[in-house]
Chains A and B, each alone.
Chain A
Amino acid sequence: MKVNVKTQIRRYILSAALLVSFAAAADAQIAVRGETVWTMNGDPIKDGVVLIKGGKIEAVGPASQISIPSAYRVLMAKVVTPGLIDAHTVIGLNGYLNQPHDQMALDGSSPIQPELRAIDAYDAEERLIEWVRGFGVTTIHTGHQPSALVSGQTLIAKTFGKDVEEAVFVSTAMISVTLGTDSTLAGGRAPGTRGKQAAMLRAELIKAGNYKGEPRDLKQEMWQKVLKREIPLLVTAEKAQDIMTALRIAKEFNIRIILDGASEAVQVLAEIKASGFPVIVHPTMARNGGTRESLTLENASKLKAAGITVALQSGYEGYVPKTRVLLFEAAMAAANGLGFRDALASVTVDAAKILGIDNRVGSLSVGKDADVALYDGDPFEFTTHCVGTIVNGALAFEGKR
């Protein structure tokens, strides 16, 4: 008991300290000076400066044109980029221990549960969030994992914040849908096949079209938001036939979707392009088995070359690594056809566009959230370190990782 009280006290002190640091964040005045500053809003700036005040970007430009006020804390780095945006992960719902009590991204009781809110399960202080923050990740799109036909909602959060309310800035971002054999069920339970999956989705959407709001039905309320195009479906579809099913259903019901995974996208590039929907590509280094047997390191580069908007992701992992690191996945894509600039865009400005948050994050532009990543070299090189991560104007990671 005594120990518990002590722990409890320690926890209060810790949260109090955190509180102070968060409170200070909005007032922090920081100048980031980089040998190269990739704003993702025009060409990179040589010897650039990013001024930060009140959690927002106050000014960006060459050091020759921006004078740094004396009160500002100056941080130096070789390369400065916008904070990275992980377009699809499950961290915060799934924790690093990988024990039943910290795996909250899948409820197996029913295959269709759009009413499950990620915000009710998000642990803003989970260790994996701290881990990726140290590699420059400032925004994550996270939520229910791709393992059920409709596993639940997703949210968008900053990787720094004392609790879920402070960290989350889009509480319902998308609804996670998975097509193909990763979400079929055995033992006579539905859906047991691809055809059944599509039939069940259609049935839900038709039912929701007739829903009048009484009595309240949380599932129908969510599907109506989808039908009204207020919320997109995040459709994980690796095989070409599953990608086509996703596009077909989207067209039938005039709903918005974002394709996810899409390891066989190269087979249906023209169809994806014609649909206008973007793709959040599987982790570059994902294991090439099961539905991902045909994935290629060049998938992102081929989609990009076809004129399709792409983002990269750390994805969902059931074992080790418990989370992939977006920076490393982007690095591998950069080295396999995508190139430096497009790879960086896929984890910053393009990811922001796909997630619909480009008004706030994704580039270093005046007025946007002060989310900045600092590196001591080419961010994608194995041997480079992230030397600082700024979230909402607060230095949320300081060190060398």
Chain B
Amino acid sequence: MRRYFFSLLVLCAIAVSAAGQSRPVAFVGARIIPIVGAPIEDGILLIQNGKIVAVGDARVVRLTADVQIVDMKGKVVMPGLVDTHSHIGGPAGADGSSPIQPDVRILDSVNVKASGLQRAQAGGITTVNVMPGSGHLDSGQTLYLKLRDDATKIDDLLIFDKDGRYAGGIKFANGTNPIRPGGGSFPGTRAKSAALVREQFIKAQEYKAKIAKAAGDKTKLPPRDLGMEALAEVLDGKRVVHFHTHRHDDILTVLRLKQEFGFKLVLQHVSEAWKVADQIAKSGVPSSIIMIDSPGGKLETVDVSMTNGAALEKAGALAGFHTDDSITDSRWFLRSAGMAVRFGMSRDKALYGMTMAGAIMLELQDRVGSLEAGKDADFVVLSGDPLSVYTHVEQTWVEGKNVFDRGNPADYLLAVGGFGATNDKFTDIDCFDGDIQGGAR
């Protein structure tokens, strides 16, 4: 118990000093895998004000006298993981009223105190694309979140660009999930699905044309349409389409739609990517892979293959991974990379897929995805090799702040499970009360 209190104190001390922002902190002695650049055997990660100041060999990086040193000897440090497709926080998007609902925003539905967000921190995930489901052709706008601590409202997790716009994409789906024969306005076939989506994008093109034609004259503007506004953002390349798609013919349909309307696209799931890896590569569109332990479970995934990562790598396509939490558990997201390597992907590309590839898919590559000076201080501390089953995520840091520490009993509970682990808001820790279990309810 005393040991726990001690680690808690250490944790708080680090957290406070890092949150205090001004004093630089150096993590010293770890094997650093920066993702961009070669691994550094005896490295230093220097952070300040939530940003990375320097990453490099211990013999090269100069530390000034004011730097706080944190010993990381024997550990492995890599960038925080980027999960490009998750459902943590209970995002509820489109309802049953129609198949295409671009006006619906996940922003209005996420519970930031959900234990799922904390378990994602326990898995080393620092940036996540939280999405509505796949039961619609378009189920609404997604959110790219930073898994910061102490959030009380969704605003606390948002990522803003320099214009003050919060980051997020839009969710589309094809294949069998959105098909509801006899389901009113919902499609009954694959061709109907594509036709309905095409129709909406044409409407959005016309909406855009009307706005352009009005040339700033308010009396000539079309009536505001929130759905059309979102699709116009898609057509303008300001909002990435995350397209749930499994079968190879469905993947090609998505690529065809992209060709027609020119939107930015991430292919999600891509169960049969191995059948059309060359076409995917040729299109230049990135793929976010889900690793499932056995084939089937639904008809359109009977040919899912664990070789998708290897096939896309070989074809030269950008490939990353996602949890689709709760389909797979955020706590062992790194396992996806391990399994991809088992089935032929290279170590480097698999780790790139867990981090930088995801950052590129979310257009956040200037801020996250690698350990480079100037980027956000989002990183994980591992007990060993990232691809080993025996390795645990020991710490997760977001923007210079420790958000998960396996040495802390409340965080440990989140990582391994047990009584109370799935209670929302369980792990509120107030460092200044020193009341570890006080958050339980």
Contact = CB atoms under 8 A, between A and B. Distances in A.
B22 interface: no
Contact of B338 (A293, A297, A383, A385): A383
A31 interface: no
B293 A328 contact: yes
A383 B417 contact: no
Contacts of B341: 382-383
Contacts of B388: 381-383
B342 A384 contact: yes
B342 A96 contact: no
B233 interface: no
Interface stretch (A11-19, A66-74, A219-227, A315-323): A315-323
Interface stretch (B93-101, B153-161, B295-303): B295-303
B335 interface: yes
Interface stretch (A168-176, A283-291, A346-354, A357-365): A283-291
Interface string A165-184: 00000000000000000000
Contacts of B419: 264, 267, 294
Most chain A CB neighbours (cut-off 10 Å) among B292, B329, B341, B416: B416
Most chain B CB neighbours (cut-off 10 Å) among A132, A267, A320: A320
Most chain A CB neighbours (cut-off 10 Å) among B294, B299, B387: B294
A296 B299 contact: no
A99 interface: yes
A253 interface: no
Nearest to B336: A382
B374 to A, nearest CB: 33
Interface in B159-208: none
B332 interface: yes
Interface in A355-391: 380-385
Interface stretch (A49-57, A153-161, A303-311, A331-339): A331-339
B293 A382 contact: no
A296 B416 contact: yes
B294 A131 contact: yes
Contacts of A97: 296, 299, 302
B421 interface: yes
Contacts of B295: 96, 127-128, 131, 322
A297 B301 CA distance: 28
Contacts of A8: none
A319 B297 contact: yes
Interface string B403-428: 00000000000001111111000000
A294 B421 contact: yes
A289 B326 contact: yes
A111 B392 CA distance: 43
B293 A321 contact: yes
A321 B294 contact: yes
Contacts of A132: 294
Interface string B6-31: 00000000000000000000000000
Contacts of A294: 417-422
Contacts of B327: 320
Nearest to B423: A293
Nearest to A98: B297
Interface size class of B (residues with CB under 8 A): 20 to 34
Contacts of B299: 97-99
Contacts of A321: 292-294, 297
B342 A385 contact: yes
Given A322-B296, A334-B389, A382 B339 contact: yes
Contacts of A289: 326, 422
A106 B389 CA distance: 34
B390 interface: yes
A376 to B, nearest CB: 10
A385 to B, nearest CB: 6
A335 B416 contact: no
A380 B294 contact: no
Contacts of A295: 417
Interface in B215-267: none
A219 to B, nearest CB: 33
Nearest to A132: B294
Contact of B389 (A95, A131, A381, A385): A381
B158 to A, nearest CB: 27
B220 to A, nearest CB: 51
B99 to A, nearest CB: 22
Contacts of A331: 389
A380 B390 CA distance: 9
Contacts of B422: 288-289, 293-294
A152 B329 CA distance: 31
B335 A319 contact: no
Contact of B293 (A99, A264, A325, A380): A325
Contacts of A320: 292, 294, 296-298, 301, 327
B297 A382 contact: no
Given A294-B417, A297-B417, A380-B389, A322 B329 contact: no
Interface string A111-129: 0000000000000000110
A324 interface: yes
Nearest to B324: A320
Contacts of B392: 335
A96 B332 contact: no
A107 interface: no
Contacts of B326: 287, 289
Interface string B326-356: 1101001001001101100000000000000
A339 to B, nearest CB: 10
A388 to B, nearest CB: 16
A287 B387 contact: no
A332 B332 contact: yes
Contacts of A285: 329, 332
Contacts of B338: 381-383
Contacts of B387: 382-383
Given A97-B299, A296-B417, A321-B294, A287 B329 contact: yes
A177 to B, nearest CB: 25
A47 interface: no
Most chain B CB neighbours (cut-off 10 Å) among A99, A296, A382, A384: A382
A55 B107 CA distance: 62
A185 B348 CA distance: 51
14 contacts: A98-B298, A98-B299, A128-B294, A131-B295, A289-B422, A294-B421, A320-B292, A320-B297, A321-B293, A324-B294, A335-B390, A335-B391, A335-B392, A380-B389
Closest 7 interchain pairs by CB? A382-B338, A96-B296, A320-B297, A296-B417, A321-B293, A322-B297, A321-B294
Interface of A: 95-99, 127-128, 131-132, 264, 266-267, 285, 287-289, 293-298, 317, 319-325, 328, 331-332, 334-336, 380-385
